[in-house]
Structure 1
Amino acid sequence: MSALVGVTAGFSFVPQPGSAAPPRYSYADAVRESVQVQTPLDNDADGQPDRVTVDIVRPREAAARGIRVPVVMVASPYYQCCGRGLENERKEYAADGTVTKFPLFYDNYFVPRGYAFAAVDAAGTSRSTGCADVGGREEILAVKAAIDWLNGRAAGFHADGTGATAGWSTGRVGMIGKSWDGSIANGVAATGVPGLATIVPISAISSWYDYSRFGGVVRSRRHHVFLHNLITGRPAAACAPVVAGITAGTDDATGNRNAYWDERDFRPDAGRVRASVLIAHGLNDTNVTTTQFGAWWTALARQRVPRKIWLYQQAHTDPFDVRRAEWVRTLDRWFEYWLKGVNNGIMREPQATIERAPGQWVDEPTWPAPSLPVPLRLGEGTLGLRPVAGTLSFTDNPTLRERELVADPGTPVGGRLTFLSAPVPASLRVSGTASVTLRVSVDRPTTNLTVRLVDYGTANRVNYANSSGGIVRQTTESCWGESTAADDACYFDTVEDVVATDHAVLTRGWLEASHFGSLSSPTPLEPGTWYTMTVRFQPHDFVLATGHVLGLVVSQSDRDYTSATSSGATVQVDLAGSRLTLPFAGPVRLDSPDRAPAVTTAPAPDPPAIEVIP
């Protein structure tokens, strides 16, 4: 067991020493079948247990020799409505209903290497029954049933109604997927289902409340109803009661957390996770923001779950499209270790792989890096180590875009407050979650508070706001696995989209002020009363280069990333009672400026429109 780090209670897996190269199997001749797995639910209320469709491709030669194989699984709501990957691939079917083309490269690559690949239609989508409940009990338990079937604990059926069993499977399953697909993997792992050996959530959700709400601030109204309608494969009448439950449960009117959101939060069940976890996430993901991996990572760490992490400079992007060869190599070794038990040394290697700047990758023993929380005090436009007395006030301006809020921080702009450090004398690394504590008085019962950390200084940076999240598709292709006439393993190559800019927003945070004490029970503010509120930024890992200036921008309504509703509030900030706390990794050298340095910026484009599809 020496190769395992932090094995969870009840986890019994002994990797075997590495051996000669495993046999290769034919992808073209592989067995393709479609199975309907019975779930324990009936949320479409038709009197029949719901069934989830599991489409499978597996090595024919292994089956003929009686060799059982592990399973790589992607459960997704997107196989018909939207497609997967940069090329928006969908499932394609033969006349007998079996899949001839699977999206992405996992089937092409892993089946010849001795795995089965299973593509599960999420409940209520494509060929599965039930109704999509957007991250809820139906969605998660339906996929859990598929893993139970692979382990002989659930019933499965062929299209003709005859029983289907998975005697060809070892029962060991590795789930992988980006965005909603990875979110399902997180949720299924949180059930503790036996047989799920590992998950690889990419840009994935761990709490649907924190995806749909930022500290009580609503991101997009009727969002979950929109998502249900986007992915559903069922008649509207069949799922009308489920949609009504979604409408009531999301409670857009208040932004409160409630039982609906508790059901869709996987973090409290981290103690039930039996699977290892390999997380991949873009540090500049403004869709599935970094709190999703950060809070999940912390919960898993408390439970000593075996885990690794990849962090990169892009937005909502798959590492296959960022650092392709190294990512595929990592997946190959990860699944070999956790699904086949080959002791290839991957768990003795550094825990974190991080892209510091475009193309600059480092391996770190842990994430976040060991850090020292350092409070920086707010002054008259300054950030420093010395407390400053006084108050500043600003009135909400809902018309301001982010580019205007962070531009030319020394120029007075109604609707924002800016605070600047002195140029740093040596580079500073921040690793983890920063926060701003503000002592405020608000002349309305509530308002939204939005905070941004900004790096003012020229550097080459990934243009994560482009249409592909920071990459550019090329005209050349590379192939990853075996192809057939119906399903090729070749994908357009990509490169990072790198631009020179004189400033960049590093991370953001939001709070609906009446929720400062509780996300489930807001407290209307009393005008003229002082309150102390803490706004947490999205987790990040960045290096502020020598000579750069760190900026804090405080505003109210945010029309770029939330469903902004202006309160018209004026907020007073007590400087002496306010601070910015940063988790600095390594030595910290900071000056306390007497006045804000002169900083000017070139015009910048608006950030992308609010993304509402995980």
Structure 2
Amino acid sequence: MSTVGTRWRRGVAVLSATVLAALGAAPQALAADGPPSIVVQDGVTQPAFGYADAIRERLFIDSTFDSDNDGLRDIIAFDLMRPAATAQGLKAPVVMDASPYYSTVCRGNESECKADLDGDGLLDKWPLFYDNYFVPRGYAVILLDMVGTNNSTGCPTTNANQDNLSAKQAINWLNGRATARNAAGEVVKADWHNGKTGMIGKSYDGSLAMATAVTGVKGLTTVVPISGPTEYYDYVRSNGVVTRGNSYVSSLANTVTNPERREYCKPVRDAIGAADGDEHGDYTSFWNERSYVKKVPNVTASVLLYHGLNDDNVRPDHFSKFWYALAENNVPRKLWLSQEGHVDPFDSRRAVWVSTLHRWFDFWLQNVANGIMDEPRVDLERSADVWETHADWPIPGKADTEVYLQPGTTGAGGLGLVPTAKPATGAFQDNRTQSQNTMILNPDVVQPNRLAFLSAPLSAPLHISGTPTVQLRASADQTDTNLGAILVDYGTDERVAHRASGEGIITLTTEDCWGQSSPTDDGCYKQTTKRVATADYELVTKGIMDAQNRQSIRVSVPLVQGESYNFSFPLLPEDYVFKPGHRIGVIIVASYPQYSSQADTTAANLQVALKSSNIVLPVVGGTAAAHAAGL
């Protein structure tokens, strides 16, 4: 009997060489003198196993928590696919994507949802390409429903402990530390597992991968977080300023909850809304459990990290803070940085990403010695589809370089490596409705609601790599105000249009395929191309702070009207090359409506002491490179 198209639940299957060939598999994977094993050729695992005949299961685990406070432990559900050969002795690692989105927002550029088409309680449609590609290569794939979503019970808590511990339950089961049951209540064991699991996911899914890694759970061998929040405070706040308001944390919990359970979970969301501190924006214990950076010392898994440098959803400070902590703790790691916004690398650099991911999982989960850890640590997209490799990030050789704000005569102020010789003041007024374009455009024109500072046209390239910092000596005539800063490249160039529709990519109508297919699920996805545009300027990076949080994001201290203070706040991390002939611009504002959801209401008048104010740029080559560029 042919096994093509058969849905496996239990038992043992013997796959003939004929069937394996029909499935695109290599017969040598099922050697007659022992249990089946992976096939490695050219340094990577080969598609030696079937996809259509893979074993598919839905399992349920009692968790260790009760998110909806109903007196019962929540149940975490997950869908599992593994090669049929695991029933004959193949030991397989797991690739897991834990997500809250499988039945609501769904996954990928084409918004794929989980789907059971025939009502038998098993998935027919599996989102993303991981199952199609990796199951034939000897991997199992788990798509796990985060607590309170899809088939799991409880209620979502938006990156609180219950969310963060959801995937850990499955890893404990895979390693014999927890009990899973099928829909019939039968205990199911993972006796086919090789003890190693890798987690992957974009955005919320990426945060769940990092959340699991920082628990230090045994059996999690590697994680691949893609554009995921690492500090939830930074996702909805920035240095005391609320950047996403209207009870965003509870609102997201509502979004990922199945519609029929939203009313049931309302008390949980109400408790979240009451504790989030929208009224002040300070850092509290509410955010502490939603922080992964400080827990990096617990990480025992390797990390392949991806982020878009122009991601204005999960902003780049999420990757940078996590990356810096990984380096401090000597965690094995690699990094990809692209020019797009909130875009998956599968839709940005598809072929190279799939190849890299394949080799990464083979090395860490299948023990394939392919040399991937001997290659440069960082892949960085300099311009549309132009990639560089570097030994590390920030780029080795960068040095923090103070660039001072200097007074102008009739128009914008200047920028230089030494402070102005005489005391000078820049004065401006807060404008709560000023658009970002108004702040940036016409930098040579004096405007009452900003300060603009321009370098001379550069005589050589200037490369920054890392996190810039703005340092201001300023006073205000109110007890509170915000402060914002924008770093701008003024110069005509073709760039990735990351602020346009698609966040830097255009989705095409053509498809390509990655992996094998079943009658109900294929591995084919629409291709993409970069969206580029020529513009006269580029917003390189930006930052904002609440002046009352100048000492700490934990405590607000009112200003004394007219008294001068030192304000220091980071801009978002960047890796950017200013080209010769271009001018570097620094814009200083108070309210920044396109960065914050709650505009400052004080309408303060501010004065900046220019001699004591600067921007610290992480210049590759340091002061010497800045001199050479003409600063």
Q: TM-score, normalised by structure 2?
A: 0.89
1:307: which partner in 2?
333
Look up the equivalent residue of 1:376 and give its one-letter code.
Answer: V
How far does residue 249 in structure 1 lie from its aligned partner after superposition? Answer: 1.9
Which of 471, 474, 477 is equivalent to 2:508? 474
Q: Does 1:535 align with 2:562?
A: no
- Distance in 2, matches of 1:574 and 1:455, equals 24
Conservation of the 8 A alpha-carbon contact between 1:426 and 1:546: yes
State how 1:264-303 maps to structure 2 within 5 Å.
264-303=290-329
Residue 625 of structure 2 aligns to a residue whose secondary structure is coil
Which of 32, 35, 41 is equivalent to 2:59? 35
1:588: which partner in 2?
625
Look up the equivalent residue of 2:499 and give its one-letter code.
Answer: A
Which of 229, 235, 252 is equivalent to 2:278? 252
Conservation of the 8 A alpha-carbon contact between 2:158 and 2:249: yes
How far does residue 553 in structure 1 lie from its aligned partner after superposition? Answer: 0.6
- Distance in 2, matches of 1:20 and 1:573, equals 59
2:181: which partner in 1?
157
Residue 328 of structure 1 aligns to a residue whose secondary structure is helix
Q: Does 1:229 align with 2:254?
A: yes
Look up the equivalent residue of 1:437 and give its one-letter code.
Answer: Q
Q: Does 1:512 align with 2:546?
A: yes
Assess, with a 3 A threshold, how the Cα gap between structure 1 residues 461 and 18 changes in structure 2: closer, same or farther.
closer
- Distance in 1, matches of 2:428 and 2:611, equals 17
Look up the equivalent residue of 2:313 and give its one-letter code.
Answer: N
How far does residue 105 in structure 1 lie from its aligned partner after superposition? Answer: 0.6
State how 1:168-187 maps to structure 2 within 5 Å.
168-187=192-211
Which of 72, 82, 98 is equivalent to 1:75? 98
2:35: which partner in 1?
none
Assess, with a 3 A threshold, how the Cα gap between structure 1 residues 357 and 592 changes in structure 2: closer, same or farther.
closer
Q: Does 1:131 align with 2:155?
A: yes
How far does residue 17 in structure 1 lie from its aligned partner after superposition? Answer: 12
2:19: which partner in 1?
none
1:378: which partner in 2?
405
Unaligned runs of 5+ in 2: 1-39, 408-412
How far does residue 589 in structure 1 lie from its aligned partner after superposition? Answer: 3.7
Q: Which piece of structure 1 moves more, 87-96 or 27-36?
A: 87-96
Q: Does 1:343 align with 2:378?
A: no
Residue 132 of structure 2 aligns to a residue whose secondary structure is helix
Conservation of the 8 A alpha-carbon contact between 1:398 and 1:564: no
Look up the equivalent residue of 1:583 and give its one-letter code.
Answer: P
Q: Does 1:462 align with 2:496?
A: yes
How far does residue 248 in structure 1 lie from its aligned partner after superposition? Answer: 2.0
2:581: which partner in 1?
547
- Distance in 1, matches of 2:345 and 2:43, equals 28
1:401: which partner in 2?
435
- The superposition leaves residues 540-594 of structure 1 with CA deviations (integer Å, 9 ceiling, x where unpaired) of 1000101110000111112212113232011110001111110111251448999
Residue 246 of structure 1 aligns to a residue whose secondary structure is helix
Conservation of the 8 A alpha-carbon contact between 2:83 and 2:136: yes
1:87: which partner in 2?
110
Q: Does 1:503 align with 2:528?
A: no
Assess, with a 3 A threshold, how the Cα gap between structure 1 residues 19 and 472 changes in structure 2: closer, same or farther.
closer
- Distance in 2, matches of 1:84 and 1:22, equals 26
1:219: which partner in 2?
243
Which of 382, 387, 391 is equivalent to 1:356? 382
1:323: which partner in 2?
349
Look up the equivalent residue of 1:45 and give its one-letter code.
Answer: N
- Distance in 1, matches of 2:629 and 2:530, equals 37
Which of 47, 64, 83 is equivalent to 2:71? 47
Look up the equivalent residue of 1:50 and give its one-letter code.
Answer: D
- Distance in 2, matches of 1:255 and 1:205, equals 18
Conservation of the 8 A alpha-carbon contact between 2:490 and 2:538: yes
- The superposition leaves residues 123-155 of structure 1 with CA deviations (integer Å, 9 ceiling, x where unpaired) of 001110111000010001121111111111111
Assess, with a 3 A threshold, how the Cα gap between structure 1 residues 20 and 401 changes in structure 2: closer, same or farther.
closer
Assess, with a 3 A threshold, how the Cα gap between structure 1 residues 593 and 24 changes in structure 2: closer, same or farther.
closer
Q: Does 1:193 align with 2:220?
A: no
Conservation of the 8 A alpha-carbon contact between 1:438 and 1:532: yes
Which of 448, 453, 465 is equivalent to 1:414? 448
How far does residue 19 in structure 1 lie from its aligned partner after superposition? Answer: 6.8
Q: Which piece of structure 1 moves more, 92-101 or 280-289?
A: 92-101
Assess, with a 3 A threshold, how the Cα gap between structure 1 residues 513 and 111 changes in structure 2: closer, same or farther.
same
Conservation of the 8 A alpha-carbon contact between 2:67 and 2:156: no
Residue 467 of structure 1 aligns to a residue whose secondary structure is coil
- Distance in 1, matches of 2:134 and 2:447, equals 56
Conservation of the 8 A alpha-carbon contact between 1:481 and 1:489: yes
- The superposition leaves residues 37-62 of structure 1 with CA deviations (integer Å, 9 ceiling, x where unpaired) of 111011212222111111011101x2
- Distance in 2, matches of 1:537 and 1:378, equals 16
Assess, with a 3 A threshold, how the Cα gap between structure 1 residues 591 and 351 changes in structure 2: closer, same or farther.
closer
Residue 343 of structure 1 aligns to a residue whose secondary structure is coil
Q: Which piece of structure 1 moves more, 219-228 or 188-197?
A: 219-228
- Distance in 2, matches of 1:19 and 1:546, equals 43
- Distance in 2, matches of 1:248 and 1:105, equals 39
Assess, with a 3 A threshold, how the Cα gap between structure 1 residues 474 and 17 changes in structure 2: closer, same or farther.
closer
- Distance in 1, matches of 2:596 and 2:125, equals 38
Structure showing greater radius of gyration is 2
Residue 526 of structure 2 aligns to a residue whose secondary structure is strand
How far does residue 22 in structure 1 lie from its aligned partner after superposition? Answer: 4.4
Assess, with a 3 A threshold, how the Cα gap between structure 1 residues 209 and 21 changes in structure 2: closer, same or farther.
closer
**Residues paired across the two proteins, number:** 578
- The superposition leaves residues 403-455 of structure 1 with CA deviations (integer Å, 9 ceiling, x where unpaired) of 11100101122211111111111001100000110001011111111111000
Assess, with a 3 A threshold, how the Cα gap between structure 1 residues 303 and 593 changes in structure 2: closer, same or farther.
closer
Look up the equivalent residue of 2:625 and give its one-letter code.
Answer: V
Conservation of the 8 A alpha-carbon contact between 1:455 and 1:551: yes
Unaligned runs of 5+ in 1: 1-15, 595-614
- The superposition leaves residues 282-318 of structure 1 with CA deviations (integer Å, 9 ceiling, x where unpaired) of 0100110000000000011110000000001000001
Conservation of the 8 A alpha-carbon contact between 2:460 and 2:628: no
- Distance in 2, matches of 1:169 and 1:369, equals 39
- Distance in 1, matches of 2:568 and 2:41, equals 50
How far does residue 479 in structure 1 lie from its aligned partner after superposition? Answer: 0.5
Q: Does 1:442 align with 2:467?
A: no
How far does residue 63 in structure 1 lie from its aligned partner after superposition? Answer: 1.7
- The superposition leaves residues 359-390 of structure 1 with CA deviations (integer Å, 9 ceiling, x where unpaired) of 21110011111211110110121111121221
Assess, with a 3 A threshold, how the Cα gap between structure 1 residues 592 and 577 changes in structure 2: closer, same or farther.
farther
Conservation of the 8 A alpha-carbon contact between 2:44 and 2:368: no
Q: TM-score, normalised by structure 1?
A: 0.92
Conservation of the 8 A alpha-carbon contact between 1:17 and 1:342: no
How far does residue 23 in structure 1 lie from its aligned partner after superposition? Answer: 5.7
- Distance in 2, matches of 1:584 and 1:424, equals 14
- Distance in 1, matches of 2:43 and 2:338, equals 33
Look up the equivalent residue of 1:588 and give its one-letter code.
Answer: A
- Distance in 2, matches of 1:493 and 1:49, equals 43
Runs of 4+ in 1 over 4 A off after TM superposition: 16-23, 591-594
Conservation of the 8 A alpha-carbon contact between 1:454 and 1:507: yes
Conservation of the 8 A alpha-carbon contact between 1:425 and 1:590: no
- Distance in 2, matches of 1:591 and 1:516, equals 34
1:557: which partner in 2?
591
Look up the equivalent residue of 2:445 and give its one-letter code.
Answer: T
Which of 278, 288, 305 is equivalent to 1:262? 288
Bigger RCO of structures 1 and 2 (CA < 8 A, at least 6 apart):
1
Conservation of the 8 A alpha-carbon contact between 2:171 and 2:219: yes
Which of 514, 518, 521 is equivalent to 1:484? 518
